[in-house]
Structure 1
Amino acid sequence: MKQLSIIPVCLLMLLLAGCWDRTEVNDLAIVVGLGLHKMEDEQVELSLQLVNPSSMASGVGGGGGQQGTGELTTVEKEIGKTTFDARSKLQEKLSRNIFSGHNRVVFISEKMAEKGIRKHIDFLSRHPKPRLRSYVFVTKGAPADFFKVMPDLESSSAETARELANLEVGMSVHVKDLVQMTSDESENAALPILEIEEEPPNTQGLRVSGTAVFKDGKMVGQLDDSLTRGILWLRDEINDAAVTVKPEGTEGYISFNIFDSKTKLIPKVENGNWTMTVNINSVDDAVENETKLNLGNPDTINKLEKQLEDRIEKRIRTALEHVQKDMQADILKFGEVFHRHYPDQWAKVKDNWNEETFPEVTVELNSDVKIKRPGRSTSPPTVPDDEVINE
């Protein structure tokens, strides 16, 4: 019996010897940002934003800029025939092992986006080290320049970009989302555009500036912030947004906060006609009223709700015109919805979906806006009672 009891003890002792392949933190070059840029000779420039070991050792914290012994991050770059070729060359001149387990973002230059990203996405999805939860952006310029920007509020430009993606001020796309978008049957994708913004005094910051539209793996156009908002409505990706309107017949503006929105796509194929009904339901709060309108008046609220509905539909129609007619790129998930509901009809048109069928899809919009709360004050508190408009 004693001999039998020794067996499980020995097995447990084997589990304790689990540190034979450990890698010390001091031996790692921790990547927080990865950038891809296309060179004139078609080679790939790989840039990495790495945590500065000296700043970690000195316990530097807080915002960007220079503190303590130096900057919080450093930038390294190298050129190669492929992404991994460039990574291998970069490893040859780094004294630490490149570690991508904490990577925040992937920056793809506008130049590379125009030439095509499909083969470069293969490395991000195939190699076991890059994180599939990293956010992807298209940059107006070389990614290395963006990594050199030292933000005021975050520890690095990569962290700033990640926080912007978390706030969903524009498109918010992970590497895994991009891989899925470029591998589906419609082969279209949309990525947020990042640009460097000059900020006084003599500092720089990052801002999301519209959306890059991809077709067959190449960027075919860009949408500004207003058109991007229309696309987000159609994709059911509006989580928190602001809308400002100028009511008819009065001076000033009223701002609303959209805190709940749902979009439902209902496809229909009949007699060769493809129709997509888009039902949008949103709930708004009035957060600022510059007019003399009394927001406690039901008639006033009904008029404002109708104006908000018209505003949303107009923005969506404009965005539809660009992606349906001009770019002919289905980034709206219409193909996915038709495929799910009408697999047989979809099989007949999928090969020419973007060029032939998608531009001819009739879109019927139904927007329903409800103003939930007028705020802490119904009538304008700074307007005399005899000047408040109750109609």
Structure 2
Amino acid sequence: MRSGKERLPRSAATRLLLLLFLLMGTTLAAGCWDRKEVNNLSVIMATGIDKAGEDQIELSVQVYNPRTAGGGQQQGMKESGNGGGVDGQTIVRSEVGTTIADAMSKLQEKLSRQIFWGHGEIFIIGEELAKNGLRDHIDFLLRSPEVRDNADILISKGPAKRVLTLHIPLERDSAEMLHNLTDLHLGIATTIVDLSRMLVSRAGAAVLPLVKYSQSEEQNGGSGKISYLRGAGILKKDKLVGFIDSDITRGVMWIRNEIDRATVTVTPKQTESGFVTARLIRSQTKLIPSIEGDEWTITVKSVAEGDLIQNTTLLDYGKPELAKQLEKDFGEQIDAKIAAAVAAVQQNMNADILGFAQAFHRKYPKEWNRVKDEWDEKFPQVKVTFESDVKIERQGLSSPSALRSNQGGRSE
């Protein structure tokens, strides 16, 4: 009698086991077929895109220099006019083409290693190029599988290439410095995907951090100018329409609920001299739309909490009545910043980077559909009101009486 379970012949079992091992080996090997060795790549750290002629662009890339990694600068490695980082840790190469893809293919002929975008953290758009429109160039950045959609995109006051070649005294290169500055959230921060969403939004307006140059403060071994972030560029229908300074930019950030940290300084109404400064540690802003007949209104309602960090007046804000008035003063200062931002972008530029279109669409979809094609005419007519409420949570250990005395020498 044979058992209920048939056994495969030894040779058949051996062949089956061998086949399973072969299949497993094929599966594991498939994961490495397109591996790229770092030593064979030109790793791009930052990219600049400028206008070059009537129908061409200049693509500039800041490439990591592996020959200086870990061992400092080798003799003869620093290239005058091409180095974008400290001690030649990066080099800059440029090429002209009709599109980014065309310029990149020409640029590859200048680099002995395959171009790799995967580590690129910064893309900078030159001012002249931005005035002519960005949509075609953003198309490449969104389509390329290697380009990181969370990379920061900025606009430069002047040529973008210049930013890549400036000497950076504190960081490894300009890409690292600009990326760290955006991480501090002291100004507007925009990624590639953020920009694409703003350009296809109902308002069709966008805002980009602005890169400027300034003279280096170092006296010895001066390297000329350094780059920094200050203000923002405003785009409408993918074209640059103007710049706003840092104060207006902070007001825009209040309205867009993008304030991560801030300090506010006021001269209190109870005194004619001295200043009081608070550091805001929490804030939230809401846009409250309202439609009554033909009048469209937006209320910008901000709530913030902070700590008192400096008081140069003789007033003691440990007293509840004085503290309440001080909180009101801070609220009015924030309202003033918001009002200045609204005037700049609503009246002067007519570019809705404030989110008003989205707010009306969410609450009044039918009314919005009637005016969406004429939003450029409706947006400047929207009435804006402000309500800012600031609470001071802590005042520190110091008090006016501890540090100041009357003219007669007596303590207050």
- Report the equivalent of 2:313: 291
- Report the equivalent of 2:361: 339
Inter-partner Cα distance in structure 2 for 1:250 and 1:301: 17
- Report the equivalent of 2:396: 375
Asked if residue 270 in structure 1 is aligned to residue 270 in structure 2, the reply is: no
**CA offset at residue 376 of structure 1?**
2.5
Inter-partner Cα distance in structure 2 for 1:209 and 1:143: 15
Asked if residue 99 in structure 1 is aligned to residue 116 in structure 2, the reply is: yes
Shift in CA distance, 166/66, structure 1 to aligned 2, threshold 3 Å:
closer
- Report the equivalent of 2:180: 163
Shift in CA distance, 296/378, structure 1 to aligned 2, threshold 3 Å:
farther
Inter-partner Cα distance in structure 2 for 1:129 and 1:325: 40
Inter-partner Cα distance in structure 1 for 2:85 and 2:135: 35
- Report the equivalent of 2:76: none
Q: Please, which runs of 5 or more residues in structure 2 have no aligned partner?
A: 1-7, 74-83
Match of 2:98 among 64, 69, 81: 81
SS in 2 for 1:242: strand
Inter-partner Cα distance in structure 2 for 1:81 and 1:27: 27
Are the equivalent residues in 2 in contact too, given 1:139–1:195 (CA < 8 A)? yes
Q: Which moved more, 1:198-207 or 1:331-340?
A: 198-207
The root-mean-square deviation of aligned C-alpha atoms, in Å, is 1.8
Match of 1:189 among 178, 184, 206: 206
Q: Where do residues 171-320 of structure 1 align in structure 2 (5 Å cutoff)? A: 171-199=188-216, 200-201=218-219, 202-203=222-223, 204-248=225-269, 249-320=271-342
SS in 2 for 1:221: strand
Inter-partner Cα distance in structure 1 for 2:205 and 2:95: 30
Inter-partner Cα distance in structure 2 for 1:223 and 1:41: 27
Q: Which moved more, 1:203-212 or 1:126-135?
A: 203-212
> For residue 208 of structure 1, what is the amino acid of its counterpart?
L
Q: Which moved more, 1:30-39 or 1:292-301?
A: 292-301
SS in 1 for 2:303: strand
Shift in CA distance, 88/364, structure 1 to aligned 2, threshold 3 Å:
same
Are the equivalent residues in 2 in contact too, given 1:295–1:379 (CA < 8 A)? no
Q: Please, which runs of 5 or more residues in structure 1 have no aligned partner?
A: none
Shift in CA distance, 27/305, structure 1 to aligned 2, threshold 3 Å:
same
Q: Which moved more, 1:241-250 or 1:319-328?
A: 241-250
Are the equivalent residues in 1 in contact too, given 2:198–2:204 (CA < 8 A)? yes
Asked if residue 363 in structure 1 is aligned to residue 384 in structure 2, the reply is: yes
Shift in CA distance, 91/65, structure 1 to aligned 2, threshold 3 Å:
closer
Match of 2:25 among 5, 8, 13: 13
Inter-partner Cα distance in structure 2 for 1:338 and 1:247: 36
In the alignment of these two chains, the number of paired residues is 381
> For residue 211 of structure 2, what is the amino acid of its counterpart?
L
Q: Which moved more, 1:24-33 or 1:145-154?
A: 145-154
SS in 2 for 1:232: helix
Asked if residue 126 in structure 1 is aligned to residue 136 in structure 2, the reply is: no
Are the equivalent residues in 1 in contact too, given 2:121–2:175 (CA < 8 A)? yes
**CA offset at residue 56 of structure 1?**
2.2
Q: TM-score by structure 1 length? A: 0.93
Inter-partner Cα distance in structure 2 for 1:92 and 1:215: 36
Shift in CA distance, 316/57, structure 1 to aligned 2, threshold 3 Å:
closer
Inter-partner Cα distance in structure 2 for 1:139 and 1:190: 13
Identity rate, percent? 39
Are the equivalent residues in 2 in contact too, given 1:282–1:370 (CA < 8 A)? yes
Are the equivalent residues in 2 in contact too, given 1:250–1:291 (CA < 8 A)? no
Q: TM-score by structure 2 length? A: 0.88
Inter-partner Cα distance in structure 2 for 1:77 and 1:103: 16
> For residue 15 of structure 1, what is the amino acid of its counterpart?
T
Inter-partner Cα distance in structure 2 for 1:65 and 1:220: 32
- Report the equivalent of 2:156: 139
> For residue 103 of structure 1, what is the amino acid of its counterpart?
G
- Report the equivalent of 2:39: 26
Inter-partner Cα distance in structure 1 for 2:118 and 2:198: 23
> For residue 142 of structure 2, what is the amino acid of its counterpart?
S
Shift in CA distance, 298/37, structure 1 to aligned 2, threshold 3 Å:
same
Q: Which moved more, 1:196-205 or 1:74-83?
A: 196-205
SS in 2 for 1:88: helix
Are the equivalent residues in 2 in contact too, given 1:250–1:292 (CA < 8 A)? no
